[in-house]
A and B are shown apart, each in its own frame.
Chain A
Amino acid sequence: MEYYLGISQTIGVHTLLGLSAYVLLLTGQLSLAQVGFFAIGSYVSGILTVIFGWHVLPALFVGALVAGVFAFLVGFPALRVKGLMLVVATIAFSEIVRLVFFNLNWRVEVNGLEVGPDSTQGFREIRYFAANGWEQAHVVLLIWLIVILVMVMLWWLDKVRAGAVLRAVGEDELAAQSSGINLTMVKVAAMTGGGVIAGIAGGLYAHSTTYVDHHTFSILLATFAVSYPILGGLKNVLGTLMAVIFIQGFIIEGLRFMGDYRNILFGLLIIVAMNFRPQGLVDGNFTSDVRKLLRMKQNGAGADA
């Protein structure tokens, strides 16, 4: 049971991380900065609960907010460049964040124990949940409540004009600005929103695993973050969720016996998917197929009655 709870934690956190990249991909921007925001969220919220003794919920909230502020500030210079240059700029950002935390040493004594970020040793005492009697099931519940909340919000966003504007910018920037859209404003807003989501993901990750160190915030994680929405497609948020379940649940966990060969499989999967389903696994055809299938079932049930 614990094993499955652990996997569902991972899937929940990675879904948030994927959704943070999804928001930005809607505007056509490929960012590897999500892992930087993830790191900021995890360290900030961890410091708040461990050193300052905050409750976990406000700590997660503030961690997400700080990540969002950084995303906003990084957004202005970073989004002046596009494509490959944006990828490079955002990798640079994530690496800077990683190295800052790699060197961060802030040890304080709390209740007779020395706690806090310990530079190269990482940040190892983020035990809010255990110390306050949360069971793992409760943690999983909290993570998935937040995942669902974020998914519902993004789903709603797609139903209002702002969502159409994000997609319009992703389709054609020149046409969008010629339709009166402020490209910088829209892209920075998407970056900020993505930063907040990644920040929450980081906070949840840090508290559910109880420790983080610089290895956590690798470029590999940033690659995973963008791979989920790319594989899942940008039709809607469910694509990202399905891609996470497939990659984390099946490739990483299900094929554990394959060891490091899984990374090759992951790379192959991306290449194959890009060639055969460039719109992602969940594209327009897929959703209309599902809809038809559901309708057929309903009709079938109706005929039986």
Chain B
Amino acid sequence: MGLAPMLRITGLAKYFGGVRAVDGLDIQIDKGEIFGLIGPNGSGKSTTVNLICGVFPQTSGTIELDNVDLGKMAPHQRIESGVSRTFQNIRLFGELTVWQNLWVAWRDAPGHETNWLVNWFGSPADRQHEIQKLLEFSGLGDHSDKPANSLSFGEQRQLELARAMASKPKLILLDEPAAGMNSEEVADLKERILTMKELGMTVLLVEHVMDLVMSVTDRITVLNFGKPIAEGTPVEIQNNEAVQEAYFGSAKNVEAGA
């Protein structure tokens, strides 16, 4: 890996009063990698996603994307710099149509930008072809004119993922995309993430569904109480004692409790 990492997080910390939600996190994600961020509830995974997107400012540490410092940018500037995300609890523009959801988030690929006048005051016809293509990719081709809130749960998740892709990000942050999905939908999601990998996309996956994490990620960082306790390939993580302890408690505790 001679290349510099795409996302470089160093010494990231976020304190909410006395609560250290994230406390000294270092992550490096390479281009084209599917990177897992896991850990028990409340370990700081979603806070990390929110920090990268600028929902609130970090207490300390740096976040760089392709050597550009995101740390002090406004949230919308970070999206322009190439990150985008989905939400743990789906947040679509419910009254807008499926098509409009993508239209709002749409950004032209770098080097192919239309002028701002078309961007803001263009009619749907100007984007019809490209957005329809993204809808087909997401399996939502037939739903383009439906209000987003009329879709099924699984379809809403797909739409949110499509909306995150509409801004042509370098890095997509998926915040528990499998939450609330049945096994069939999870299998479908797995295929979709693997397709994204084939297309060369870079993904930070925050997830509780271990089957999914272990089968799609290249590397994983495990958080506990805001601190990274392990990093490695899925196999390494599965055999890591510290991780097992964080998730299940140690064998000693079990004996002591018994």
Contact = CB atoms under 8 A, between A and B. Distances in A.
Report whether over half of chain A's contact residues are helix, strand or loop; otherwise say mixed. Answer: helix
Interface in B81-104: 84-85, 87, 91-96, 100-101, 103-104
B93 A161 contact: no
Given A164-B96, A167-B95, A179-B104, A159 B76 contact: no
A165 interface: yes
A179 B74 contact: no
B119 interface: yes
A179 B122 contact: no
Interface string A166-178: 0110011011111
B216 to A, nearest CB: 23
A162 B124 CA distance: 11
A162 B118 CA distance: 10
Given A171-B94, A175-B93, A182-B76, A164 B103 contact: yes
Interface string A158-198: 01111011011001101111111111000000000000000
Nearest to B74: A182
B75 A160 contact: no
A182 B74 CA distance: 8
Contacts of B122: 160-161
Given A160-B120, A160-B122, A175 B76 contact: no
Interface in B129-182: 147, 163, 166-167
Contacts of B91: 172, 174-175, 178
Contacts of A162: 120-121
B119 A179 contact: no
B123 interface: yes
B121 A175 contact: no
A168 B104 contact: yes
Interface string B61-93: 000000000000011100110001101000111
B235 interface: no
Interface residues of A, number: 21
A182 B54 CA distance: 13
Nearest to A156: B121
A179 B80 contact: no
Nearest to A189: B120
A230 B74 CA distance: 32
Nearest to A185: B76
A167 B95 CA distance: 9
B79 A164 contact: no
Contacts of B74: 182
B92 A180 contact: no
Contacts of A172: 91-94
B96 A168 contact: yes
B246 interface: no
B31 interface: no
B201 interface: no
7 contacts: A164-B100, A168-B100, A172-B94, A178-B87, A179-B166, A180-B80, A182-B76
Interface of B: 53, 55, 74-76, 79-80, 84-85, 87, 91-96, 100-101, 103-107, 119-124, 127, 147, 163, 166-167
Q: Pick the 3 closest A-B CB pairs, nearest first.
A: A180-B79, A179-B105, A175-B91
Given A160-B123, A182-B76, 10 more contacts: A159-B124, A161-B127, A167-B96, A168-B100, A168-B104, A172-B91, A172-B92, A176-B93, A177-B79, A178-B85
